[in-house]
């Protein structure tokens, strides 16, 4: 889902949106959490508008390439600081995972997956979901954010006990 749809189409300075100290603390925390998994977060300076990236991801899903595309998309932004709000960047990432870049560009330009994104946003709104990741388990447990495996175990154990 689009977290900050109000972000200008060309994106904006991330420090302007959240504050330099908040960004620094968040990146440091993410690097500490990700270290055990080999994840490295780079210095983020730009907050892209994510609509094009979400449309590109839906195109990748339709072609059976969502996992590879999503992984490369996240790494490109969070580790390398690429502007994933730009169609040319999204098409290059698509090429790297074996997608047809021309078709991908057409899907974005013609908003072929916008209706799906709008439906997802409506589901999120109805379920009071405002961030990602959010997991809904058994229609009764809502787990929001990067949580420990223990949080998931607790939810599953409560489900099994009830």
Domain containing 143 equals: 131-162
| H runs (alpha helix) in 20-113 | 20-34, 51-62, 66-74, 87-96, 101-109
CA 50 vs CA 34, 150, 156: distances in Å:
23, 31, 32
Please indicate, yes or no, whether residues 27 and 94 belong to a single structural domain of this protein.
yes
133 falls in which pLDDT band (50, 70, 90)?
A: confident
Tell me the whole-structure pTM to 2 decimals: 0.86
Instruction: Indicate whether 6 belongs to any domain.
Output: no
Please indicate, yes or no, whether residues 36 and 85 belong to a single structural domain of this protein.
yes
Are the beta carbons of 113 and 59 closer than 8 angstroms?
A: yes
pLDDT tens-place string over residues 97-124: 999 999 999 999 999 999 999 999 998 8
Instruction: Indicate whether 7 belongs to any domain.
Output: no
């Amino acid at each position: 889902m689009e977290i900050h749809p109000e972000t200008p189409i060309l994106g904006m300075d991330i420090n302007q949106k959240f504050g330099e100290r908040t960004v620094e603390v968040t990146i440091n925390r993410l690097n500490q959490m990700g270290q055990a998994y080999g994840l490295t977060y780079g210095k983020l300076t730009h907050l892209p508008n994510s609509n094009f990236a979400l449309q590109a991801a839906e195109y990748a899903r339709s072609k059976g390439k969502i996992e590879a595309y999503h992984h490369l998309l996240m790494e490109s932004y969070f580790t390398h600081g690429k502007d994933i709000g730009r169609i040319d960047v999204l098409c290059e990432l698509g090429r790297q995972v074996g997608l047809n870049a021309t078709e991908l560009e057409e899907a974005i330009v013609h908003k072929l997956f916008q209706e799906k994104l709008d439906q997802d946003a409506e589901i999120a709104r109805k379920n009071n979901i405002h961030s990602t990741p959010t997991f809904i388990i058994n229609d009764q447990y809502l787990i929001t954010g990067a949580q420990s495996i223990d949080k998931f175990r607790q939810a599953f154990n409560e489900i099994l006990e009830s």
